């Protein structure tokens, strides 16, 4: 990741960096690695994410078909 600071505009560069980090999911990754997660908790979290993703895709597909 590379952010270029132009004309000493550090605040704008930091804002751009934060936006890029959010987009790439680095804040979530840092938060996840902050503490150890038990394997069972990891499996539960991943399965919950998969269910959420599947529901979202189904909702999107139904909305697309109704148009």
> Where along the chain do its domains lie?
1-35, 37-67
At 41, list the tokens: 């908790």
CA atoms of 60 and 67, how far apart (whole Å): 11
User: How close are the terminal C-alpha atoms of the chain, in Å?
Assistant: 39
**Predicted confidence band of residue 32 (pLDDT cuts 50, 70, 90):** confident
Q: Which residues contact 4 (CB under 8 A, 6 or more apart)?
A: 13
Other C-beta atoms lying within 10 Å of the C-beta of residue 59: 10
Q: What is the pLDDT of residue 8?
A: 92
pLDDT of 67 strictly over 80: no
pLDDT of 65 strictly over 90: no
Residues 18-28 have pLDDT tens digits of: 999 999 999 98
At 34, list the tokens: 């902050």
């Amino acid at each position: 990741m590379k952010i270029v600071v132009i004309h000493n505009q550090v605040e704008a560069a930091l804002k751009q960096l934060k936006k890029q980090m959010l987009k790439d999911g680095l804040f979530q990754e840092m938060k996840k690695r902050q503490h150890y997660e038990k394997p069972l908790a990891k499996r539960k979290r991943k399965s919950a994410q998969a269910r959420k993703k599947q529901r979202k895709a189904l909702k999107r597909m139904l909305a697309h078909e109704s148009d």
